[in-house]
Amino acid sequence: MEEKFREAFRADLEENLQKLNQNLLRLEKEPQNKALLEEIQRQAHTLKGSANMLGWTGIGKITHQMEDLLTKFLEKQIDFNRREVVTSTVDLLLATLDVIGLLVEAEVSGEESGIEIEGICSNLEKAKEELTRGEVITVEEGTTSSLAKEKLLPPTVSEETIRIRTDKIDNLINLIGELTIRQMNAQERLNKFRQLIPLVKELDRLKVNKELTESILTIFRESSDDVSALELVVKKLEESGMSLRMLPLATILTYFPRSVRDLGREYGREVELQIKGAETEMDKKILEMVRDPLLHLLRNAVAHGIEKPQERLAKGKPERGKIMLHAYQEGDQIYIEIEDDGQGIDLNKIKETALRKGLITPEQTKELTEEVLSLIFKPGFSTTEKVSEVSGRGVGLDVVRKNIIENLGGQVKVKTKSNEGTKFILILPLTLAVLHALLVEVNKEIFALPATEIELISRIKREDILTVEGRKVVRINDRTVPIIRLAEILRLPIPENGYFISINQESSRKMPLVVVGYAGEHLGLLVDRLISEQDIVIKSLSEPIRKIKNIAGATILGTGEPVLILHIPDLIDSAGTLPTPRAYPPEEGQEEDSSREKQRKSDHSILLVEDFFTVRELEKSILESWGYRVDTATDGLEALKKIGTKKYALVITDIQMPNLDGFSLCEKLRKDERYKDIPIIIVTALEKEEEKRRGLEVGADAYITKSTFEQEIFIETVEKLLGS
């Protein structure tokens, strides 16, 4: 059978498996629901028929035994009035489905499953006889593999569909993003055109070359209509394109009830998972990244939240614990709440653990109240001493922090009450392709701050700033918030006429302050200017830039200007590791030293040769932020033209470039009398040992691979070669 048909049949089989899983979990609660039992039997029969049609006889044999067991249940040959019999029967059927799932994977991949078909069928036959006699059976550990649950794919959509590879959809989304940028460019050009219209109208009124002025006004009106129509079409195309990548949350929730049930059985808990809002849609990439955090939170709720039945009864609670997963959309954000009715989180225990691990001081244990909950997201934090499949091994809620906060730019909030339960609230972006952001200016550079992590925007005066333990803070809404210049975190020069003067002198001028936060931590960022809020198209970054701290991505404005999107968790972390910021002007002599250093660096012109735009702009930005003057070239040929007219103190070059590569450029530079001793740094994606050797042989003084690119090492190398 052709591969495409095998894949299509696999999707149908897996959809049947998922429906069977869901219905068996219902059957455990409603054993006398005859209609449900008949539906399960029909699904098993369909599964058997599909497998036999494909020639997958092993699956056909096992499903035949499964169907026969269901028939005995339906004909009341098995006593479904006894709860323990029902539970053990469901255990057996679920384990059987896991085995079938593994067999499907093996058939499609062409690999051996290692499963003894006849042995499985024999065990099922034996179990049927025992259940018919009224005996309670036990499904032993190892009967099936938990990997089966992980490997089964999400359900296919039952309506008419075609299957498209996700990379094709991603390419389409990227093209739509490019189109959106071009539409923004057109709008920018129209705005510039509009500024000339009053002059044209005045010339028209004075009847100066009336025919020309009328033509210009007509072209403007038509252009304005075209741009408006283009904006509408691009907006609809953007929405339609994004919808292609949107999937319901149900896509990843299929096996969650089963996982919760199995964990409950393992830990001796009676627990039920209720799901609300499974139809809520979000970006496929977000779904992929949110699956593990959700599963981890559910496991924690079962293992550490829900009490054992005897404990619950003693507290006056129902014997069966309840976990609610509720998803809904508000604006351009998705909210997912996971709430249990268990024992809650012990704040004192968290404080003790945090103190033991050195995360807080004894003095802080007295001050911390609800803020202590943010500590549970720290890497390696766990109050549990026992190592298990669910907890221990140093893997805790930091996986939630990493995926939700750091990778997705979302938020996590926690609420807990002793003996009443705990609620985790995940706040996620609707899509990763478009971001609502605040544009700010720092040292004449524009940066974007994700709006979802901005708590408030304010303006403060000099007298609003207080000093606490050597750090600058402000009181906002009865809360103390540490503040810092964004320029300091980004290691940008602070202009002499910038806001730092008014931070130290009496002034009526108010300084723009942006308060950001994540995982219970807050920081006020002082910027030079607030520009605007707008939706921006997120551009993919190449590998070396992804490793740069404080940077989450990039975008291009309607003016064509590239802008870096800042990473809020990194900014907060960076602010905490900086030395105490200077609160006052430099002492006598320091300012002169700083000025001399700045002048010395500006005397060093650097030629940067890189054909990839984003990498070129990043390296240029880093160098300029350290005070160097930088010229750029897009390939070796353009670089040779520039060195013919100007003497540079340092050359930084890529290797793989059009027209003339970096190796050839180095060779030509070393043959030039003016450049035989000028330092050269190669920054490239080529990282084989023979490539590094060749780079040094052709005259490079340093060789940096993009996969290990770090800003600090890059600058240290530059300064060392320039004798700084």
In the chain, domain spans = 3-151, 166-244, 248-429, 434-577, 592-721
Predicted local distance difference test score (pLDDT) of residue 651: 94
The residue among 13 and 689 whose pLDDT is bigger is 689
Is the pLDDT at 50 greater than 50, yes or no? yes
Question: Quick check: helix, strand or coil at residue 164?
Answer: coil
Domain 434-577: CATH architecture, name and number where available: Beta Barrel (2.40)
Token code pair at residue 350:
């968290």
| In the chain, % of residues over pLDDT 90 | 8
Per-residue confidence band for 587, with pLDDT thresholds at 50, 70 and 90:
very low
Mean pLDDT of the chain: 76
The residue among 491 and 636 whose pLDDT is bigger is 636
Angle at the Cα of 323 from the Cα atoms of 319 and 329, rounded to 5 degrees:
155
Q: Which of 118, 115, 119 is nearest to 100 (CA)?
A: 115
Predicted local distance difference test score (pLDDT) of residue 503: 42
Per-residue confidence band for 542, with pLDDT thresholds at 50, 70 and 90:
low
Strands (E) located in 294-398: 321-330, 333-340
Contact present, 437 and 536 (Cβ < 8 Å): yes
The residue among 405 and 298 whose pLDDT is bigger is 298
* Largest Cα span, the chain: 106
The CATH number of domain 592-721 is 3.40.50.2300? yes
Predicted local distance difference test score (pLDDT) of residue 326: 93
SS (H, E, C) 236-254: HHHHHHHHHCEEECHHHHC
Contact present, 256 and 264 (Cβ < 8 Å): no
Predicted local distance difference test score (pLDDT) of residue 467: 72
Cα–Cα distance measured from residue 257 to residue 434, given in angstroms and rounded to the nearest whole number:
33
Give pLDDT tens digits for 640-658. Answer: 999 888 889 999 999 988 8
The residue among 239 and 412 whose pLDDT is bigger is 412
Predicted local distance difference test score (pLDDT) of residue 391: 42
Predicted local distance difference test score (pLDDT) of residue 372: 63
Question: Quick check: helix, strand or coil at residue 669?
Answer: helix
Please report, as a single letter, which amino acid is at residue 341: D
Average pLDDT (611-634) is: 79
Cα–Cα distance measured from residue 558 to residue 180, given in angstroms and rounded to the nearest whole number:
9
Predicted local distance difference test score (pLDDT) of residue 585: 38
Q: What is the CATH number of domain 3-151?
A: 1.20.120.160
8-17, 135-144, 435-444: range with lowest mean pLDDT: 135-144
Predicted local distance difference test score (pLDDT) of residue 707: 67
Per-residue confidence band for 469, with pLDDT thresholds at 50, 70 and 90:
low
Is the pLDDT at 143 greater than 80, yes or no? no
Is the pLDDT at 676 greater than 80, yes or no? yes
Give the torsion through C-alpha atoms of 388, 390, 391, 393, to 10 deg: 60
Per-residue confidence band for 666, with pLDDT thresholds at 50, 70 and 90:
very high
Predicted local distance difference test score (pLDDT) of residue 260: 86
Residue 640's alpha-carbon distances to 443, 603, 643, in angstroms, are: 32, 21, 5
Predicted local distance difference test score (pLDDT) of residue 140: 52
The CATH number of domain 248-429 is 3.30.565.10? yes
Predicted local distance difference test score (pLDDT) of residue 582: 41
Is the pLDDT at 589 greater than 50, yes or no? no
Give pLDDT tens digits for 201-235. Answer: 888 788 778 788 888 888 888 888 888 888 888 77
Cα–Cα distance measured from residue 337 to residue 334, given in angstroms and rounded to the nearest whole number:
10
Average pLDDT (290-312) is: 88
Is the pLDDT at 175 greater than 90, yes or no? no
Contact present, 609 and 654 (Cβ < 8 Å): yes
Predicted local distance difference test score (pLDDT) of residue 323: 93
Residue 366's alpha-carbon distances to 9, 119, 360, in angstroms, are: 62, 62, 11
Average pLDDT (338-351) is: 85
Predicted local distance difference test score (pLDDT) of residue 138: 65
Cα–Cα distance measured from residue 503 to residue 497, given in angstroms and rounded to the nearest whole number:
12
Helix (H) or strand (E) holding 49: helix 34-54
Is the pLDDT at 4 greater than 70, yes or no? no
Q: pTM for the whole thing?
A: 0.50
Question: Quick check: helix, strand or coil at residue 526?
Answer: strand
Cα–Cα distance measured from residue 26 to residue 32, given in angstroms and rounded to the nearest whole number:
11
Give pLDDT tens digits for 232-271. Answer: 887 788 777 777 777 888 888 877 887 888 888 888 888 9
